[in-house]
Amino acid sequence: MSVLLGVVGWLLAVAAGIPLAVFSMELLAGLAPARRAREGAAAQGQAAILIPAHDEAAGIAATLAALFEEGPTGTRVLVVADNCSDETARIARQAGAEVVERHDPQARGKGYALAFGRDHLARTGATPDVVLVLDADCRLLPGSVAALAKAAAHHGVPVQAINLIEADLGAPPMVQISSFAMLVKNLYRSRGMQRMGGAALLTGTGMAFPWKLFAGADLATGSIVEDLALGIAMTRAGHPPRLVGEAGVRSAPADMADALAQRTRWEHGFLQTLKGQALPVLLGALRSGSRAELLLGLHLAVPPLALLLILAAAALALQALLAALGGSVAALVVLGALTALALLLVVVAWLGGGRTFLSAAALLRAPLYVLWKLPLYAGFLRKPEARWTRTPRRPPQ
């Protein structure tokens, strides 16, 4: 009986330990200070900025004003007013942008808007060398347009700016913790994957693509995580995206209800991708020998941070019970050590850069954050989110 309990214990330790180990490796590799990249002397080429916008009348003028002030002279800015019921198109035209309108209520989602904008670029005038994608409620940090365009032209692969939520220590604790979780995923883990020889994550805004890749991309889908799907497709095709440390994109935080709705869309989409794509990507990596594809497959096997900790706690409790009944104590120790390492690295991330996004008082509410997200995961088991929805935010200032 003890042998059987020991085998079960080790199987549990392996199943729960692999995601913890992958998470820790990514975070450890990404926490080291950034070294300034040398991109060489490649010219950035002609760039176009594509902005999908759905009912963004409240903030599109501020976004465009900041973009025209920051972007290089002559950069083409195209706004796709997508299934809008407000004055987005009129305001964007008045602000100086080129605007096209798409009306197709049956085909809702950012991917359709991107495909519509791409097709318009291909039909009208000379095609750009590089296409930047920016959400209508985001702002690029100074120098980001040039840095992204140059990096995409130099490397010939998709590139991603560091995409974070604007720090707001006055926001509710749950919103602060969500912003910190985005820092961990979009900066530290993405940078860690790249440093280990893998692909960085595409995160939906602040992305840039060489035209030849963008022209052939499968964009016209209703995926609720179109950025993740696009990154997987590019990596599997041999074009792993890169993170550009000199470029940044910021968005205003949502309120608690809207933040939970946004996390529901993101995390349900990621979990559906985990279920359907992690194993095929890993098997593809074994066939091709691609390190980038292997690391991406391992990344896809790691659930979102709150769920990862919930599963680790449940596995530890079950492991302790098995050990008490005569199972392997060593398996319990190994799983406990991996869980402790993951938690330690999260604390290091908070000490390193996270205190700007998450106050110490809010950090102490982290267990409540996990409870706050339990309905999200229960909802995934009942009925996964499958419909794209716009997240309301404060307009850009």
Every domain of the chain and the residues it spans: 2-31+280-382, 47-188+198-255
When mean pLDDT is compared across 88-102, 171-185, 355-369, 373-387, the lowest value belongs to: 373-387
Q: Cβ distance 45 to 127 under 8 Å? A: no
Q: How do strand 242-251 and strand 159-165 relate by DSSP bridges?
A: parallel
Q: How far apart are CA 62 and CA 177, in angstroms?
A: 27
Please determine, looking at this structure, whether the domain spanning 47-188+198-255 carries the CATH number 3.40.50.11610: no
Q: How far apart are CA 226 and CA 203, in angstroms?
A: 9
What does the pLDDT read at residue 392?
58
What does the pLDDT read at residue 93?
97
Q: How far apart are CA 338 and CA 332, in angstroms?
A: 10
> Encoding tokens for residue 362?
């809010």
Q: Cβ distance 243 to 200 under 8 Å? A: yes
Using alpha carbons only, what angle is made at residue 320 by residues 325 and 304, rounded to the nearest 5 degrees? 145
pLDDT (average), residues 283-297: 95
- Nearest to residue 58, comparing CAs of 86, 84, 77? 86
Whole-structure pTM value: 0.91
Query: Containing H/E element for 175?
Result: helix 173-183
**pLDDT tier, 371 (very low <50, low <70, confident <90, very high otherwise):** confident
Share of the chain above pLDDT 90, in %: 72
pLDDT (average), residues 246-258: 86
pLDDT (average), residues 57-76: 89
- Nearest to residue 232, comparing CAs of 192, 202, 263, 266? 202
| Chain segment 145-174, per-residue pLDDT in tens | 999 999 999 999 999 999 999 999 999 998
| Chain segment 17-48, per-residue pLDDT in tens | 999 999 999 999 999 887 765 555 556 679 99
| Chain segment 93-112, per-residue pLDDT in tens | 999 999 999 999 988 889 99
